[in-house]
């Protein structure tokens, strides 16, 4: 469901619900204000008094009460789609889904846990896409993960099974996909394939990812600015050489 559908359905439900609730509230007000109320029997008088007491808070803040009633009528999946479109943070959604303060076992057993997991995954997917399409360099992401202290291949090996590296890898793949699509569109090599501050370690990491993903040699040459390089120049480039070696290991 796209954003337009979400907004349309949300607005439709809000208007329909508001109309129905306002009509109901108006009818109640008329009923309570009718002279016949004074002539009802004791039981009815007690019931009316009880209802007045229960609704005292709502009558003090009718807008809040109406909003709460309308919200309760909107399907949870529609709310999630709206929250996603609005970029609501995970903590907000977790609270709204009633998952705050639950132990792991309780959390995973909750009926809304699956929805929350999907929400978090979709939010991450959107964040990766928005960063990549905006040209947020892989080195900046690498640095965000705390990998700017990695300087050797030995150190690189120690982080490759971590969750942070897997997230970096996921971002690098999406970023490179967009670069390749740009190549195919007939554009020249974008100047943001590599950040000017990137490190050798990050380039080696990307070279291994290119090999693992089965990138075409021509695309890797484009990544490295070696499209027209002769065999000797390719052999002299340590990053292309590392890619070829990694490709041999993953073949």
Per-residue pLDDT of 29-71, as tens digits, reads 434 444 434 444 554 544 544 444 555 555 556 666 666 677 7
Break the chain into its structural domains and give their ranges.
Answer: 1-74, 75-120, 134-250
Q: What pLDDT score was predicted for residue 70?
A: 74
Per-residue pLDDT of 117-154, as tens digits, reads 999 999 999 999 999 999 999 999 999 999 999 999 99
Mean pLDDT in residue range 176-192: 77
Per-residue pLDDT of 160-176, as tens digits, reads 999 999 999 999 999 99
Which DSSP string corresponds to 135-160?
T--HHHHHHHTTGGG--SHHHHHHHT
Rounded distance, CA 40 to CA 54, Å? 20
Q: Any idea what the Cα angle at residue 156 is, between residues 241 and 209, rounded to 5°?
A: 55
Alpha carbon of residue 41 to chain centroid: 58
- On the CB side of 168, CA atoms within 13 Å amount to 26
Percent of the residues in the chain that have a pLDDT greater than 70, as a whole number? 69
Structure token pair of residue 131? 């960063």
Q: What pLDDT score was predicted for residue 126?
A: 94
Mean pLDDT in residue range 232-244: 96
Structure token pair of residue 64? 């809040």
Rounded distance, CA 106 to CA 118, Å? 18
21 pLDDT above the threshold of 80: no
Gyration radius of the chain over CA positions: 29
Q: What is the pTM of this model?
A: 0.71
Which residues, in sequence order, are CB contacts of 139 under 8 Å at separation 6+? Answer: 194, 195, 197, 198, 199, 202
CB 211 within 8 Å of CB 249: yes
Angular region, 199: left φ>0, alpha ψ -120 to 50, beta rest: beta
Q: Does residue 74 sit in helix, strand or coil?
A: coil
Per-residue pLDDT of 95-112, as tens digits, reads 999 999 999 999 999 999
Indicate the DSSP class of residue 189: P
Mean pLDDT in residue range 88-92: 92
Sign of the alpha-carbon torsion through 107, 113, 118, 120? negative
Residue with tokens 């390749």: 180
Structure token pair of residue 149? 């202290």
Q: What is the mean pLDDT of the chain?
A: 81
190 pLDDT above the threshold of 70: no
91 pLDDT above the threshold of 50: yes
Residues 65-71: contacts with CB under 8 Å, at least 24 apart: 66/18, 66/21, 66/22, 69/17, 69/21, 70/13, 70/14, 70/17, 70/18, 70/21
């Amino acid at each position: 469901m796209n954003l337009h559908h979400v907004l349309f359905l949300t607005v439709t439900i809000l208007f329909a619900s508001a109309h129905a609730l306002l009509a109901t509230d108006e009818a109640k007000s008329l009923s309570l204000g009718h002279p016949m109320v004074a002539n009802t029997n004791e039981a009815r008088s007690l019931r009316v008094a009880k209802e007045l007491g229960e609704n005292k808070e709502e009558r003090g803040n009718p807008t809040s009460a109406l909003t709460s009633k309308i919200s309760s009528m909107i399907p949870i999946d529609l709310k999630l789609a709206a929250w996603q479109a609005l970029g609501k943070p995970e903590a907000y959604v977790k609270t709204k889904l009633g998952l705050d303060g639950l132990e792991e076992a309780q959390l995973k057993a909750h009926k809304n846990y699956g929805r929350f997991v999907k929400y978090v995954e979709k939010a991450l997917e959107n964040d990766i896409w928005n960063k990549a399409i905006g040209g947020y360099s892989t080195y900046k992401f690498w640095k965000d993960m705390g990998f700017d202290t990695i300087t050797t291949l030995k150190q690189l090996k120690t982080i490759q099974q971590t969750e942070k590296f897997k997230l970096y890898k996921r971002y690098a793949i999406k970023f490179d996909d967009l670069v390749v699509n740009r190549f195919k569109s007939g554009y020249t090599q974008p100047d943001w394939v590599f950040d000017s501050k990137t490190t050798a370690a990050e380039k080696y990491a990307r070279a291994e990812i290119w090999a693992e993903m089965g990138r075409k040699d021509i695309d890797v040459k484009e990544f490295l600015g070696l499209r027209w390089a002769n065999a000797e120049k390719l052999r002299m480039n340590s990053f292309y050489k590392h890619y070829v070696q990694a490709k041999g290991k993953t073949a």
